[in-house]
Structure 1
């Protein structure tokens, strides 16, 4: 944290524009805060954070597409900023505090309650400002053993069993590896990881999706069902997909 005399740099992440603007006004109204950045998308915010973007306080929505607030907390670079979750559902409180977030605000946010949360941040011990982090590397350094791949995610090498991967989704400068229980964010493009996948049962079905054919349960109305997930199939990939499905 900065010294008590210096304002705290706040970053807001909320996909709802009205909620995001409400939080921006609350930050601007508080004389101990400064708005460093505001994002409608967790993926865009993650790029900012991993690139060493300044943040002391993270005001974070929970229910967002692609990456939820709870998933994003697990991906934050160290040292982590103070995290205040903001959501419409109090039911997430138990999961939130298991991740050691500082506070939990329920929408619509009351300004007095907002100030109370910021006061808790200001009571935290001072820590040295982190050096700018290196950008998240593209997944060019991957190795395989059987059905496993080692991929770089969150600044570390992680071993993933690709038989558990349902599909891979392109998100800006990241790709999302989705399993039934987890999501893993890897830097780089979908084309990059497609070229390096050693498994023939992974096939591109859309400009933004690669699927594991071994996990496909059904194809209906140009939508693939994989567990609780659905992935669209583009017209240009339909013929190849049907050939691959019939050859399994």
Structure 2
């Protein structure tokens, strides 16, 4: 369990500071900001960020698209920061593989939603993570570490061995980001990680020492999934 770590590559100090402030306010962990291609690669090698925000126009001979090409070779996910839409720029961008684009000027809400959506889509094809926001902080949870989810009105709890996160989203909304091969509903208010189930009784499952209710309507489905 850790916060999503982000490196900002932006050569305009005021914009970089605005982005950093907005990200920290949304609970992300900002490693810092750099201004050039060379500084970015050095910082990435040292700090190993989860995600890089790359301004297309950078100081120096190499710009953000050159950096994106280098990141593609290293399989490092990134989002473009851009106000450029000219044909030559778009043509070069098409040769790279960004997770998406954040267009300047941006809003704080737009910045957050672009990052969360991009990371969610990336997570579906890579290691399985769940991005959640709890008590003002944004966390990246490995789905394998989750024990179960529990509905709580329009919120839900995400339970791991070490923490209980109260998430300001419904159980249904949060569960849509989980791998359905490993997670299943046992009750209208509970979804469990099948990899963590150690015991089944008539009306419950034991999940790493936690007892989770199991209703008759879900029992056969759970049996089949546990066998597989």
**TM-score, length of structure 1 as denominator length:** 0.45
**TM-score, length of structure 2 as denominator length:** 0.48
Instruction: Select the structure that is richer in helix.
Output: 2
